[in-house]
Amino acid sequence: MSVMLPVDRRAFLRQLFLLAGAASMPALLTACSTDSGTSTPASRLQGPRPAGRFANLGRLGEPNAFGVRLPAGYDMRVVAEALKPVGDSGYPWHIFPDGGGVMAKPDGGWFYISNSEVPGFGTLGFTVPQLAPLANPLERLVPGLGGASAIEFDRDGNIVDAFQILSGTTFNCAGCVTPWQTWLSCEEIPEGLVWECDPVGRSAAVSRPTLGLFSHEAVAIDNNRRVIYMTEDMPEGRLYRWLPAAGDWPSGSRPALANGRLQVMDVPTGVEKALLEPQRVVWRDALEPTKAQNEHRRADSAAFNGGEGIWLFDDFIFFATKGDNRIWVYDIRGETLEVLYDLATDSNPILSGVDNITVTDRGDVLVAEDGGDMQVVVILPDGQLKPLLQIVGQDQSEVAGIAFSPDGRRLYFTSDRGSNQSVGGQRVGLGVTYELMLPN
Protein backbone atom coordinates (compact mmCIF):
# COMPACT_ATOMS: atom_id res chain seq x y z
CA MET A 1 0.00 0.00 0.00
CA SER A 2 1.43 3.37 -0.98
CA VAL A 3 1.89 6.15 1.56
CA MET A 4 0.36 9.55 0.79
CA LEU A 5 2.57 12.47 1.76
CA PRO A 6 1.07 15.03 4.18
CA VAL A 7 0.68 17.79 1.57
CA ASP A 8 -0.95 15.49 -0.96
CA ARG A 9 -3.11 13.92 1.69
CA ARG A 10 -4.46 17.28 2.77
CA ALA A 11 -5.17 18.22 -0.83
CA PHE A 12 -7.02 14.92 -1.26
CA LEU A 13 -8.89 15.45 2.00
CA ARG A 14 -9.79 18.99 1.01
CA GLN A 15 -11.23 17.75 -2.29
CA LEU A 16 -13.29 14.99 -0.73
CA PHE A 17 -14.41 16.90 2.36
CA LEU A 18 -16.51 19.25 0.26
CA LEU A 19 -18.73 16.70 -1.44
CA ALA A 20 -21.94 16.20 0.45
CA GLY A 21 -24.76 18.64 0.85
CA ALA A 22 -24.24 20.50 -2.43
CA ALA A 23 -27.96 21.03 -2.87
CA SER A 24 -28.35 23.50 -0.01
CA MET A 25 -26.43 25.83 2.29
CA PRO A 26 -24.68 23.71 4.95
CA ALA A 27 -26.19 23.14 8.33
CA LEU A 28 -24.44 23.95 11.58
CA LEU A 29 -22.27 21.64 13.67
CA THR A 30 -22.92 18.21 15.19
CA ALA A 31 -21.73 15.78 17.86
CA CYS A 32 -20.08 12.42 18.41
CA SER A 33 -19.63 9.74 21.06
CA THR A 34 -16.68 9.28 23.39
CA ASP A 35 -15.30 5.86 22.35
CA SER A 36 -11.66 6.46 21.42
CA GLY A 37 -10.77 3.05 20.03
CA THR A 38 -7.16 1.93 19.70
CA SER A 39 -6.29 1.52 16.01
CA THR A 40 -5.57 4.33 13.57
CA PRO A 41 -8.79 4.82 11.57
CA ALA A 42 -9.04 5.44 7.85
CA SER A 43 -10.53 8.63 6.46
CA ARG A 44 -14.27 8.27 5.81
CA LEU A 45 -14.31 10.85 3.04
CA GLN A 46 -14.94 9.51 -0.42
CA GLY A 47 -16.84 10.11 -3.66
CA PRO A 48 -16.66 12.27 -6.82
CA ARG A 49 -15.40 15.86 -6.79
CA PRO A 50 -17.98 18.43 -7.90
CA ALA A 51 -17.09 21.78 -9.42
CA GLY A 52 -17.24 24.58 -6.88
CA ARG A 53 -19.15 27.78 -7.27
CA PHE A 54 -15.87 29.68 -7.58
CA ALA A 55 -14.16 27.20 -9.92
CA ASN A 56 -13.83 29.82 -12.67
CA LEU A 57 -12.71 32.62 -10.37
CA GLY A 58 -10.33 34.94 -12.21
CA ARG A 59 -7.44 37.08 -11.07
CA LEU A 60 -8.00 40.04 -8.80
CA GLY A 61 -8.04 43.44 -10.45
CA GLU A 62 -6.67 46.76 -9.25
CA PRO A 63 -8.08 48.30 -6.04
CA ASN A 64 -11.46 49.94 -6.61
CA ALA A 65 -12.75 53.15 -5.02
CA PHE A 66 -13.14 51.32 -1.70
CA GLY A 67 -9.60 49.97 -1.74
CA VAL A 68 -10.74 46.42 -2.52
CA ARG A 69 -9.44 44.16 -5.29
CA LEU A 70 -12.11 42.03 -6.98
CA PRO A 71 -12.26 39.60 -9.91
CA ALA A 72 -13.87 40.76 -13.16
CA GLY A 73 -17.68 40.70 -13.04
CA TYR A 74 -17.97 41.32 -9.30
CA ASP A 75 -19.34 44.51 -7.76
CA MET A 76 -19.69 45.83 -4.24
CA ARG A 77 -21.00 48.61 -2.04
CA VAL A 78 -20.61 49.88 1.51
CA VAL A 79 -23.66 49.10 3.62
CA ALA A 80 -22.45 50.52 6.93
CA GLU A 81 -19.56 52.51 8.36
CA ALA A 82 -18.76 53.00 12.03
CA LEU A 83 -20.55 55.92 13.75
CA LYS A 84 -22.43 56.81 10.55
CA PRO A 85 -26.18 56.22 10.03
CA VAL A 86 -27.04 53.01 8.18
CA GLY A 87 -29.15 53.89 5.15
CA ASP A 88 -32.12 56.00 6.19
CA SER A 89 -32.46 54.27 9.55
CA GLY A 90 -30.73 56.99 11.55
CA TYR A 91 -28.93 54.28 13.51
CA PRO A 92 -25.13 54.85 13.76
CA TRP A 93 -23.27 51.62 13.00
CA HIS A 94 -21.15 50.17 15.80
CA ILE A 95 -17.35 50.34 15.81
CA PHE A 96 -15.00 47.41 15.09
CA PRO A 97 -17.53 45.13 13.32
CA ASP A 98 -16.29 41.56 13.59
CA GLY A 99 -18.07 38.20 13.25
CA GLY A 100 -21.38 38.25 11.43
CA GLY A 101 -24.20 36.08 10.16
CA VAL A 102 -27.35 36.20 8.07
CA MET A 103 -30.83 35.28 9.29
CA ALA A 104 -33.59 34.83 6.71
CA LYS A 105 -36.99 36.52 7.08
CA PRO A 106 -40.29 34.88 6.12
CA ASP A 107 -40.98 37.61 3.53
CA GLY A 108 -37.81 36.81 1.55
CA GLY A 109 -35.67 39.50 3.16
CA TRP A 110 -32.95 38.95 5.73
CA PHE A 111 -30.98 40.38 8.64
CA TYR A 112 -27.22 40.81 8.57
CA ILE A 113 -26.07 40.59 12.18
CA SER A 114 -22.66 41.89 13.30
CA ASN A 115 -20.70 41.87 16.55
CA SER A 116 -18.80 44.87 17.91
CA GLU A 117 -15.33 43.73 18.94
CA VAL A 118 -14.37 46.77 20.98
CA PRO A 119 -10.91 46.06 22.42
CA GLY A 120 -11.43 48.55 25.22
CA PHE A 121 -10.30 52.16 25.56
CA GLY A 122 -10.70 54.54 28.48
CA THR A 123 -12.42 56.95 26.12
CA LEU A 124 -13.60 56.96 22.54
CA GLY A 125 -12.04 60.39 22.04
CA PHE A 126 -8.92 59.02 20.35
CA THR A 127 -7.55 59.98 16.95
CA VAL A 128 -7.18 57.59 14.03
CA PRO A 129 -3.38 57.11 14.37
CA GLN A 130 -3.92 55.89 17.92
CA LEU A 131 -5.74 52.83 16.57
CA ALA A 132 -2.60 51.25 15.14
CA PRO A 133 -0.77 50.02 18.29
CA LEU A 134 -3.24 47.35 19.39
CA ALA A 135 -0.59 44.80 20.41
CA ASN A 136 -2.58 43.49 23.36
CA PRO A 137 -6.16 44.81 23.48
CA LEU A 138 -6.95 42.95 26.71
CA GLU A 139 -4.48 45.15 28.59
CA ARG A 140 -6.69 48.13 27.71
CA LEU A 141 -9.98 46.36 28.25
CA VAL A 142 -12.85 48.50 29.44
CA PRO A 143 -15.96 46.38 30.09
CA GLY A 144 -19.29 47.12 28.49
CA LEU A 145 -18.29 48.78 25.22
CA GLY A 146 -19.16 45.85 22.93
CA GLY A 147 -22.43 44.41 21.67
CA ALA A 148 -24.12 43.55 18.39
CA SER A 149 -26.28 45.24 15.75
CA ALA A 150 -28.44 44.15 12.83
CA ILE A 151 -29.22 45.53 9.38
CA GLU A 152 -32.59 44.56 7.93
CA PHE A 153 -32.87 44.04 4.14
CA ASP A 154 -35.92 43.46 1.98
CA ARG A 155 -36.06 40.66 -0.60
CA ASP A 156 -34.41 42.91 -3.20
CA GLY A 157 -31.45 43.76 -0.96
CA ASN A 158 -32.61 47.27 -0.02
CA ILE A 159 -31.79 48.45 3.50
CA VAL A 160 -34.99 48.67 5.54
CA ASP A 161 -33.70 49.39 9.02
CA ALA A 162 -30.75 49.03 11.40
CA PHE A 163 -30.70 48.73 15.19
CA GLN A 164 -28.83 47.42 18.22
CA ILE A 165 -29.65 43.95 19.56
CA LEU A 166 -27.01 43.70 22.32
CA SER A 167 -25.21 46.26 24.47
CA GLY A 168 -23.13 46.45 27.64
CA THR A 169 -20.97 43.43 26.78
CA THR A 170 -17.24 43.12 26.16
CA PHE A 171 -15.08 42.25 23.15
CA ASN A 172 -17.79 40.50 21.13
CA CYS A 173 -16.06 38.43 18.48
CA ALA A 174 -18.00 35.84 16.46
CA GLY A 175 -21.01 33.59 17.09
CA CYS A 176 -23.73 32.04 14.95
CA VAL A 177 -27.33 32.30 13.79
CA THR A 178 -29.35 29.60 15.54
CA PRO A 179 -31.87 27.29 13.84
CA TRP A 180 -34.54 28.85 16.09
CA GLN A 181 -33.82 32.33 14.69
CA THR A 182 -31.68 34.03 17.31
CA TRP A 183 -28.04 35.19 17.33
CA LEU A 184 -25.41 33.84 19.71
CA SER A 185 -22.77 36.51 20.37
CA CYS A 186 -19.45 35.50 21.97
CA GLU A 187 -17.30 37.51 24.38
CA GLU A 188 -13.60 36.90 23.70
CA ILE A 189 -12.23 37.42 27.20
CA PRO A 190 -11.07 34.82 29.78
CA GLU A 191 -14.42 34.87 31.59
CA GLY A 192 -16.43 35.57 28.46
CA LEU A 193 -20.05 34.55 28.07
CA VAL A 194 -22.28 33.65 25.14
CA TRP A 195 -25.23 36.01 24.76
CA GLU A 196 -28.44 35.05 22.98
CA CYS A 197 -29.96 37.93 21.04
CA ASP A 198 -33.26 38.34 19.23
CA PRO A 199 -33.05 40.40 16.01
CA VAL A 200 -36.83 40.55 15.60
CA GLY A 201 -37.45 42.07 19.03
CA ARG A 202 -39.44 39.31 20.68
CA SER A 203 -37.21 39.23 23.76
CA ALA A 204 -34.21 40.97 25.33
CA ALA A 205 -30.68 39.58 25.02
CA VAL A 206 -29.71 37.15 27.78
CA SER A 207 -26.45 35.48 28.81
CA ARG A 208 -26.11 31.69 28.64
CA PRO A 209 -23.53 30.78 31.33
CA THR A 210 -24.19 27.06 30.88
CA LEU A 211 -22.16 27.37 27.64
CA GLY A 212 -19.06 28.07 29.71
CA LEU A 213 -16.84 30.94 30.78
CA PHE A 214 -13.86 31.26 28.46
CA SER A 215 -12.46 33.29 25.59
CA HIS A 216 -15.30 32.41 23.23
CA GLU A 217 -14.65 32.86 19.51
CA ALA A 218 -17.30 31.10 17.43
CA VAL A 219 -20.27 28.78 17.86
CA ALA A 220 -22.00 26.21 15.68
CA ILE A 221 -25.07 24.14 16.36
CA ASP A 222 -26.32 20.66 15.52
CA ASN A 223 -30.07 21.01 15.80
CA ASN A 224 -30.70 17.35 15.00
CA ARG A 225 -28.33 15.84 17.57
CA ARG A 226 -28.92 18.76 19.96
CA VAL A 227 -25.27 19.67 20.50
CA ILE A 228 -23.44 23.03 20.48
CA TYR A 229 -19.75 23.39 19.57
CA MET A 230 -17.49 26.32 20.49
CA THR A 231 -13.92 27.43 19.78
CA GLU A 232 -11.65 29.23 22.24
CA ASP A 233 -9.30 31.95 21.01
CA MET A 234 -6.27 31.49 23.26
CA PRO A 235 -2.81 29.99 22.59
CA GLU A 236 -3.81 27.00 24.74
CA GLY A 237 -7.46 27.08 23.69
CA ARG A 238 -9.75 24.09 23.55
CA LEU A 239 -12.57 22.84 21.38
CA TYR A 240 -15.73 22.55 23.48
CA ARG A 241 -19.14 21.03 23.08
CA TRP A 242 -22.28 21.42 25.17
CA LEU A 243 -24.87 18.69 25.76
CA PRO A 244 -28.28 19.65 27.17
CA ALA A 245 -29.57 18.29 30.45
CA ALA A 246 -32.80 16.31 30.41
CA GLY A 247 -35.66 18.57 29.41
CA ASP A 248 -33.51 21.54 28.38
CA TRP A 249 -33.76 20.81 24.64
CA PRO A 250 -36.94 18.85 23.82
CA SER A 251 -36.99 17.04 20.50
CA GLY A 252 -38.40 19.25 17.76
CA SER A 253 -38.19 22.37 19.91
CA ARG A 254 -35.65 25.05 20.78
CA PRO A 255 -33.41 24.69 23.85
CA ALA A 256 -33.73 26.70 27.03
CA LEU A 257 -29.91 26.83 27.20
CA ALA A 258 -30.19 26.76 30.97
CA ASN A 259 -28.66 23.44 32.01
CA GLY A 260 -26.21 21.07 30.38
CA ARG A 261 -22.75 19.47 30.32
CA LEU A 262 -19.69 21.32 29.08
CA GLN A 263 -17.15 18.99 27.48
CA VAL A 264 -13.71 19.40 25.92
CA MET A 265 -12.04 17.44 23.11
CA ASP A 266 -9.02 15.26 23.76
CA VAL A 267 -6.79 13.59 21.15
CA PRO A 268 -4.94 10.91 23.16
CA THR A 269 -2.33 10.33 20.44
CA GLY A 270 -1.60 14.06 20.07
CA VAL A 271 -2.99 16.66 17.67
CA GLU A 272 0.25 16.87 15.66
CA LYS A 273 -0.29 13.33 14.38
CA ALA A 274 -3.45 14.60 12.69
CA LEU A 275 -1.13 16.26 10.18
CA LEU A 276 -0.37 12.79 8.83
CA GLU A 277 -3.54 10.73 9.29
CA PRO A 278 -6.85 10.72 11.17
CA GLN A 279 -6.62 10.54 14.96
CA ARG A 280 -9.35 9.34 17.27
CA VAL A 281 -10.85 11.84 19.70
CA VAL A 282 -12.43 11.60 23.14
CA TRP A 283 -14.85 14.07 24.75
CA ARG A 284 -14.29 14.70 28.48
CA ASP A 285 -16.38 16.63 30.99
CA ALA A 286 -14.94 20.01 31.99
CA LEU A 287 -13.46 19.91 35.51
CA GLU A 288 -15.10 23.15 36.69
CA PRO A 289 -17.77 24.01 34.12
CA THR A 290 -19.02 27.08 36.03
CA LYS A 291 -15.57 28.67 36.37
CA ALA A 292 -13.14 30.34 33.98
CA GLN A 293 -11.75 27.52 31.85
CA ASN A 294 -8.27 29.00 31.39
CA GLU A 295 -7.72 28.45 35.12
CA HIS A 296 -9.28 24.99 35.29
CA ARG A 297 -8.07 23.06 32.24
CA ARG A 298 -7.95 19.31 32.05
CA ALA A 299 -4.45 17.99 31.44
CA ASP A 300 -6.02 15.27 29.30
CA SER A 301 -7.51 17.62 26.71
CA ALA A 302 -6.19 18.83 23.36
CA ALA A 303 -4.75 22.34 23.04
CA PHE A 304 -5.47 24.31 19.84
CA ASN A 305 -3.50 27.47 19.10
CA GLY A 306 -6.03 30.27 18.77
CA GLY A 307 -9.40 28.78 17.82
CA GLU A 308 -11.34 30.85 15.27
CA GLY A 309 -14.22 30.09 12.90
CA ILE A 310 -16.10 26.79 12.96
CA TRP A 311 -18.58 25.18 10.53
CA LEU A 312 -20.55 22.02 9.76
CA PHE A 313 -20.55 20.30 6.38
CA ASP A 314 -22.65 17.15 6.28
CA ASP A 315 -21.28 15.12 9.21
CA PHE A 316 -17.88 16.82 9.22
CA ILE A 317 -16.96 19.95 11.11
CA PHE A 318 -13.94 22.07 10.50
CA PHE A 319 -12.42 24.93 12.44
CA ALA A 320 -9.54 27.36 12.05
CA THR A 321 -6.63 27.98 14.41
CA LYS A 322 -4.89 31.26 13.73
CA GLY A 323 -1.82 30.63 15.88
CA ASP A 324 -0.52 27.88 13.59
CA ASN A 325 -2.53 28.72 10.43
CA ARG A 326 -4.38 25.45 10.20
CA ILE A 327 -7.86 24.30 9.33
CA TRP A 328 -8.89 21.11 11.09
CA VAL A 329 -11.54 18.56 10.14
CA TYR A 330 -13.46 16.61 12.74
CA ASP A 331 -15.37 13.59 11.40
CA ILE A 332 -18.37 13.21 13.68
CA ARG A 333 -19.37 9.71 12.62
CA GLY A 334 -15.79 8.50 12.40
CA GLU A 335 -14.88 10.29 15.66
CA THR A 336 -11.56 11.44 14.21
CA LEU A 337 -9.57 14.62 13.69
CA GLU A 338 -7.54 15.51 10.57
CA VAL A 339 -5.82 18.60 9.16
CA LEU A 340 -7.32 20.11 6.02
CA TYR A 341 -4.90 23.02 5.51
CA ASP A 342 -1.53 23.81 7.07
CA LEU A 343 0.33 26.92 5.96
CA ALA A 344 3.72 25.46 6.87
CA THR A 345 3.44 22.45 4.57
CA ASP A 346 0.77 23.17 1.98
CA SER A 347 1.91 23.23 -1.64
CA ASN A 348 0.12 26.57 -2.25
CA PRO A 349 0.49 28.50 1.03
CA ILE A 350 -1.36 31.71 0.11
CA LEU A 351 -3.67 31.60 3.12
CA SER A 352 -2.50 32.95 6.49
CA GLY A 353 -4.10 34.54 9.52
CA VAL A 354 -7.03 32.13 9.17
CA ASP A 355 -10.10 33.46 10.95
CA ASN A 356 -13.83 33.51 10.08
CA ILE A 357 -15.03 30.75 7.77
CA THR A 358 -18.16 29.94 5.79
CA VAL A 359 -19.12 27.45 3.06
CA THR A 360 -21.12 27.82 -0.15
CA ASP A 361 -23.92 25.56 -1.31
CA ARG A 362 -21.46 23.86 -3.68
CA GLY A 363 -18.81 23.14 -1.09
CA ASP A 364 -16.35 26.03 -1.52
CA VAL A 365 -14.75 26.91 1.82
CA LEU A 366 -14.25 30.65 2.29
CA VAL A 367 -11.67 31.77 4.84
CA ALA A 368 -11.21 35.40 5.96
CA GLU A 369 -7.73 36.55 6.93
CA ASP A 370 -6.88 38.38 10.14
CA GLY A 371 -3.76 40.09 8.83
CA GLY A 372 -2.01 38.03 6.18
CA ASP A 373 -2.74 39.66 2.83
CA MET A 374 -6.17 40.87 4.03
CA GLN A 375 -7.89 38.45 1.69
CA VAL A 376 -10.90 36.18 1.60
CA VAL A 377 -9.47 32.95 0.17
CA VAL A 378 -11.58 30.20 -1.38
CA ILE A 379 -10.60 26.55 -0.93
CA LEU A 380 -12.21 24.94 -3.97
CA PRO A 381 -13.64 21.40 -3.88
CA ASP A 382 -10.75 20.23 -6.10
CA GLY A 383 -8.23 21.52 -3.54
CA GLN A 384 -7.14 24.73 -5.28
CA LEU A 385 -6.81 27.95 -3.30
CA LYS A 386 -7.90 31.20 -4.94
CA PRO A 387 -8.33 34.70 -3.51
CA LEU A 388 -11.88 36.02 -3.84
CA LEU A 389 -11.07 39.56 -2.72
CA GLN A 390 -8.35 41.60 -1.07
CA ILE A 391 -8.60 44.75 1.02
CA VAL A 392 -5.67 47.08 0.31
CA GLY A 393 -4.26 49.84 2.51
CA GLN A 394 -5.83 48.67 5.76
CA ASP A 395 -2.96 46.68 7.21
CA GLN A 396 -3.95 47.41 10.83
CA SER A 397 -7.33 45.79 10.24
CA GLU A 398 -8.69 42.29 9.61
CA VAL A 399 -11.29 40.78 7.31
CA ALA A 400 -14.24 39.35 9.20
CA GLY A 401 -17.99 38.87 9.23
CA ILE A 402 -18.24 36.79 6.04
CA ALA A 403 -21.80 35.57 5.47
CA PHE A 404 -23.97 34.91 2.40
CA SER A 405 -27.46 36.25 1.84
CA PRO A 406 -30.09 33.47 1.79
CA ASP A 407 -30.11 33.36 -2.02
CA GLY A 408 -26.30 33.16 -2.13
CA ARG A 409 -26.01 36.17 -4.46
CA ARG A 410 -24.44 38.54 -1.92
CA LEU A 411 -21.53 38.11 0.47
CA TYR A 412 -21.16 40.42 3.47
CA PHE A 413 -17.73 41.09 4.94
CA THR A 414 -16.11 43.68 7.17
CA SER A 415 -12.82 45.45 7.67
CA ASP A 416 -13.08 45.72 11.41
CA ARG A 417 -10.66 48.65 11.78
CA GLY A 418 -10.97 49.91 8.24
CA SER A 419 -12.60 52.95 6.72
CA ASN A 420 -14.14 54.10 3.47
CA GLN A 421 -12.03 57.23 3.82
CA SER A 422 -8.30 57.51 3.18
CA VAL A 423 -6.29 59.08 6.02
CA GLY A 424 -2.68 59.86 5.17
CA GLY A 425 -2.72 57.32 2.38
CA GLN A 426 -4.09 54.63 4.71
CA ARG A 427 -7.69 53.49 5.17
CA VAL A 428 -7.57 53.08 8.94
CA GLY A 429 -10.62 53.79 11.02
CA LEU A 430 -13.31 52.31 13.24
CA GLY A 431 -14.71 49.69 10.87
CA VAL A 432 -16.72 49.34 7.68
CA THR A 433 -19.15 46.67 6.44
CA TYR A 434 -19.34 45.76 2.75
CA GLU A 435 -21.62 43.81 0.45
CA LEU A 436 -20.08 41.85 -2.43
CA MET A 437 -22.45 41.18 -5.33
CA LEU A 438 -21.65 37.97 -7.18
CA PRO A 439 -22.21 37.61 -10.93
CA ASN A 440 -25.13 35.42 -11.98
Q: What is the pLDDT along the chain (440 residues), one digit of tens a residue?
A: 332 333 444 444 444 443 433 333 333 333 333 344 456 676 665 455 577 899 999 999 999 999 999 999 999 999 999 999 999 999 999 999 999 999 999 999 999 999 999 864 433 333 333 344 443 443 444 566 789 999 999 999 999 999 999 999 999 999 999 999 999 999 999 999 999 999 998 889 999 999 999 999 999 998 989 999 999 999 999 999 999 999 999 998 999 999 999 999 999 999 999 999 999 999 999 999 999 999 999 999 999 999 999 998 878 888 999 999 998 988 888 899 999 889 998 888 899 999 999 988 887 889 999 988 999 999 887 778 999 999 998 888 999 999 999 999 999 999 998 876 655 565 558 899 999 999 97
Architecture of the domain spanning 6-45+91-132+140-366 = 6 Propeller (2.120)
Q: What is the pTM of this model?
A: 0.86
Residue 361's pLDDT is what?
A: 80
For the chain, give every domain's residue range. Answer: 6-45+91-132+140-366
Residue 129's pLDDT is what?
A: 39
Residue 40's pLDDT is what?
A: 66
- Convert the chain into a string of H (helix), E (strand) and C (coil): CCCCCHHHHHHHHHHHHCCCCCCCCCCCCCCCCCCCCCCCCCCCCCCCCCCCCCCCCCCECCCCCCCEECECCCEEEEEEEECCECCCCCCEECCCEEEEEEEECCCCCEEEEEEECCCCCCCCCCCHHHHCCCCCHHHHCCCCCCEEEEEEECCCCCEEEEEEEEECCCCEEEEEECCCCCEEEEECCCCCCEEEECCCCCCCCEECHHHCECCEEEEEEECCCCEEEEEECCCCECEEEEEECCCCCCCCCCCCCCCEEEEEEECCCCHHHHHCCCEECEEEECCCCCCEHHHCCCCCCCCECCEEEEEEECCEEEEEECCCCEEEEEECCCCEEEEEEECCCCCCCCCCCEEEEEECCCCCEEEEECCCCCEEEEECCCCCEEEEEEECCCCCCCEEEEEECCCCCEEEEEECCCCCCCECCECCCCCEEEEEECCC
